Amino acid sequence: MTETAPQKACALLLAGGAGTRMNGKDKGLMHWRERPMAHWVAEALNAVATPVLISANRSLEEYRLLGDVLEDSPDFKNQGPLAGLLAGLIEAQKRGLAAILVCPCDTPGIKPEVFQRLLAAWREQPELPVIAQCDGRSHPLHGIYPVSLVSLLETQLRDDNRRVMVFAESAGARTLDCPDAAEALKNRNRPEDLAN
């Protein structure tokens, strides 16, 4: 089956965090296995979906080397990953795309295969988001979200609720079991996590 325009998804790399657990450093630019974490993630995303959009609020020149940088809307500045997700959804909608495949910058072990499986599951029911699940734990920032969710997400942020799982559940997200992806989905958000 050929991919039709309404089922086209782009990628979104979330790199807009404050780096609190990294002593204030820009997490996406911290090195894991001799490369910035964001580079690993962008490479895996780029293998399955283009363009790659990047939600970032600092180090913008560095991130522009990896894709099209988006800053949070002034209304939702510094409101966490959901603000970045909203910026990505709005941009994808402007570009006539149907959804965004999202991944945070602190999971550099992620593999394109996980994204391919998420995209395949989403195409079965493109009106609903799909998120990864591994060992009974859901990973709502490793998923694909239709652009039709912009209003729902704006409402949640205006209600000052920044919980990602709350959004995924209210959007009717389906989970995709990824039993072999524990290492790929591992968050490396503290300096000691970068050693291995």
Section 154-160 average pLDDT:
95
- The token pair at 107 is 């999971």
Greater confidence (196 vs 178) lies with 178
Question: What is residue 4's predicted lDDT score, i.e. its pLDDT?
Answer: 44
- The token pair at 188 is 């490396």
Q: Is 90 exceeded by the pLDDT of residue 22?
A: no
Distance, CA of 186 to CA of 24 (rounded, Å): 20
> On the CB side of 5, how many CA atoms lie within 13 Å of its CA?
3
Greater confidence (48 vs 192) lies with 48
Question: What is residue 23's predicted lDDT score, i.e. its pLDDT?
Answer: 64
Distance, CA of 59 to CA of 127 (rounded, Å): 34
Q: Which residues contact 158 (CB under 8 A, 6 or more apart)?
A: none
Question: What is residue 3's predicted lDDT score, i.e. its pLDDT?
Answer: 45
The phi-psi region of residue 139 (left if phi > 0; otherwise alpha if psi is between -120 and 50; otherwise beta) is beta
- Cα-Cα-Cα-Cα torsion 88, 94, 95, 101, nearest 10 degrees, comes to 20
Q: How confident is the model at residue 169 (pLDDT cuts 50, 70, 90)?
A: very high
The DSSP secondary-structure symbol of 3 reads P
Percent pLDDT > 70 in the chain is 91
Helix, strand, coil percentages in the chain from 3-state DSSP, rounded to 5: 40, 20, 40
Q: How confident is the model at residue 21 (pLDDT cuts 50, 70, 90)?
A: low
Q: Is 60 exceeded by the pLDDT of residue 143?
A: yes
Q: 24-28, 65-69, 80-84, 160-164: which range is least confident on average?
A: 24-28
Q: Is 60 exceeded by the pLDDT of residue 25?
A: yes
- Residue whose structure tokens are 């999971």: 107
Q: Which residues contact 20 (CB under 8 A, 6 or more apart)?
A: none
Domain boundaries, the chain: 5-190
Section 116-126 average pLDDT:
96
Q: Is 50 exceeded by the pLDDT of residue 194?
A: yes
Mean residue pLDDT of the chain comes to 90
With a threshold of 0.85, does the pTM exceed it?
Answer: yes
Section 107-130 average pLDDT:
96
Question: What is residue 161's predicted lDDT score, i.e. its pLDDT?
Answer: 93
Q: Are 139 and 103 in contact (CB under 8 A)?
A: no
Pairing of the two strands 52-56 and 174-177: unpaired
**CA-wise closest residue to 52 among 2, 166, 162, 40:** 40
CATH number of 5-190: 3.90.550.10
